[in-house]
């Protein structure tokens, strides 16, 4: 299934947070953020609303921020998730 929307950014951000929480919370994952690889068990998935919206992934005591913008493209599969903007890319794979 593919879902495209240009008008409901905030609703889609909520859907992305819910989908990732259901898919990766408590699971061991490999996360590559702009070329930096991290492996660990996801303890928390949440949104941070500030100057811009970020998806926060917590591994133990370390939290990684993934920016979400109007231009963000997200590809969500069963075990592989890709989130991209012009200047940022994140790949999450369930191990």
Residue 15 domain flag:
yes
Residue 1 domain flag:
no
Say how far apart CA 6 and CA 23 lie, in whole Å: 24
CATH number reported for the structural domain that contains residue 68 in this entry: 2.70.180
| Structural domain that includes position 44 | 9-94
Between the CA of residue 56 and those of 6, 16, 29, 33, 44, what are the distances in Å? 23, 12, 14, 12, 8
Contact at 8 Å (CB) between 84 and 73? yes
Residue 37 domain flag:
yes
Say how far apart CA 77 and CA 31 lie, in whole Å: 15
pLDDT the model gives residue 24: 94
**How many distinct structural domains can be found in the chain?**
1
Q: Using alpha carbons only, give the angle 13, 59, 51 rounded to the nearest 5 degrees.
A: 40
Q: Which two tokens stand for residue 20?
A: 């990732």
pLDDT the model gives residue 11: 82
Residue 4 domain flag:
no
Q: What is the pLDDT of residues 12-25, one digit of tens each?
A: 888 889 999 999 99
- Residue 58, classed as helix, strand or coil, is strand
Q: What is the pLDDT of residues 49-63, one digit of tens each?
A: 888 899 999 987 889
Q: What is the mean pLDDT of the chain?
A: 88
Where are any strands of DSSP class E within 3-88?
28-33, 36-49, 53-59, 62-68, 73-76, 80-84
- Name the pTM for this structure: 0.86
Q: Is the pLDDT of residue 78 over 80?
A: yes
Residue 79 domain flag:
yes
């Amino acid at each position: 299934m593919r879902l495209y929307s240009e008008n409901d950014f905030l609703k889609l951000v909520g859907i992305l947070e819910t989908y990732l929480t259901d898919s990766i919370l408590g699971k061991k994952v490999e996360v590559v953020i702009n070329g930096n690889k991290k492996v660990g068990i996801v303890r928390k998935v949440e949104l941070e609303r500030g100057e811009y919206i970020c998806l926060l992934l917590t591994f133990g005591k370390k939290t990684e921020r993934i920016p979400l913008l109007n231009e963000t493209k997200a590809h969500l599969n069963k075990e592989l998730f890709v989130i991209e903007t012009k200047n940022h890319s994140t790949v999450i794979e369930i191990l």
